Structure 1
Amino acid sequence: MPAPRQERPHRAPFAMPMATTDRIIDTTPLDVRAQPLIDALIDEYSTRYNAYRPDSHASARDELARYPAELFAPPEGAFVLLLRDGETIGGGAFKRYDAQTAELKRIWTRSDLRRQGLARLIVEALELRAAQQGYRRIYLTTGFRQPEAWALYDRTGYTRLFDSSIAPEVHYHLRFGKDLADPSRTSTLADLWAPVPEPVLSR
């Protein structure tokens, strides 16, 4: 197993306070400490979408294995874990979407520790790294049965790149974007990513 990359302290601006034993580290999906994140995301995705995908567990497992670890490594990607007393309680990643855009993936916090601002810390840590690596924008998708994720991205300055007046299950994948160079810019962000129609899945 490859050795994790050197850890560095978290310096995200405007971050909410962490517990004194919390630290954000840079590593790889192949790090054994990433396994709780991977296992939890498989369970969460398969549970939430079981009514829409009978093979939801296999689909979730395939999605988590979809991208090679190298895509989440500098200079074009990053993978971070949030540790508390050495235990993984959150994490996330980004990979290249295009020359100016990073795509967030795998954002997760442990279910019993949610609503404490930990996911925001992870997103801010990834945004900082993306900016340091030369990206100007962030793009992401989340599922329509993950309302807490929508709320997180709304709170952290992301623009909805989908029609909010339409039932979210029609979109299935909900797209968000953020301009890192000018977070106040929202009027034309949707033009950067033309929406791709998603099939409506029957129950």
Structure 2
Amino acid sequence: MFIRALRYSDPVVRALESELQLEYAERYGDPDEGPILPEEFTPPDGLFLVGFVGNEPVATGGFRKHGDGVAEIKRMYVAHEHRGGGHARRLLSELEAQALRAGYTRVVLETGLKQPEAISLYQSSGYTPTAPYGYYSDAELSRYFTKDLAADA
């Protein structure tokens, strides 16, 4: 898999985002309604990445500024037919490296109990539980994680 930065508004990103929203609806009953502005994923404060196998886009994820020195990882997704090949782990690692290059020393993220594979990925990648924040901070199914990037520098 090779990884490219694309605008959050790019048609390739929008198509994968549509797949992700369908998955949220299947797992939780509704798409993700958390507010996202495309410009939040624009350097220097943010970035959105797409992983390709050949010419096929198969994975997405981005980060945006969450606070001083803290980035929030958003919209991690791997297309169904490409799961289990390490693409999510590779994309997550690249997001962390790019966030560190952008000056962030810590990342946070939110996921849900109906995404056990995501929770497993984050925990096995060194993420630890953290306090709830943001749009879903009161949601029973939401789980929050953090990782210190400076420790990996």
Give the TM-score taking structure 1 as reference length.
0.68
Mind listing any 5+ residue stretches in structure 2 that lack a counterpart?
Answer: 132-138
Aligned length: 145
Moved over 3 A (4+): none
Structure 2 partner of 1:36: 15
How far apart in 1 are the matches of 2:15 and 2:87? 16
**TM-align CA RMSD:** 1.4
1:86 aligned to 48, 55, 60, which one?
A: 55
Quick check: 1:75–1:133 contact (8 Å CA) kept in 2?
yes
- Comparing both structures, which one devotes a greater share of its residues to strand? 2
1:131 aligned to 78, 95, 100, which one?
A: 100
How far apart in 2 are the matches of 1:28 and 1:173? 27
Structure 2 partner of 1:26: 5
- How far has the Cα of 1:33 moved from its partner? 1.2
How far apart in 2 are the matches of 1:31 and 1:84? 18
Classify the secondary structure of the residue corresponding to 1:128. helix
Structure 1 letter corresponding to 2:120? A
How far apart in 2 are the matches of 1:119 and 1:171? 25
- How far has the Cα of 1:178 moved from its partner? 0.3
Structure 1 partner of 2:134: none
Structure 2 partner of 1:45: 24
The residue correspondences of 1:94-173 to structure 2 (distance < 5 A) are 94-161=63-130, 171-173=140-142
Comparing both chains, which one has the higher relative contact order based on Cα–Cα distances under 8 Å and sequence gaps of 6 or more?
A: 2
Classify the secondary structure of the residue corresponding to 2:145. strand
How far apart in 2 are the matches of 1:42 and 1:175? 19
Quick check: 1:81–1:91 contact (8 Å CA) kept in 2?
yes
Larger radius of gyration: 1
Give the TM-score taking structure 2 as reference length.
0.89
Mind listing any 5+ residue stretches in structure 1 that lack a counterpart?
Answer: 1-21, 51-55, 163-169, 184-203
Structure 1 partner of 2:143: 174
How far apart in 2 are the matches of 1:85 and 1:160? 36
- How far has the Cα of 1:35 moved from its partner? 2.4
How far apart in 2 are the matches of 1:171 and 1:68? 25
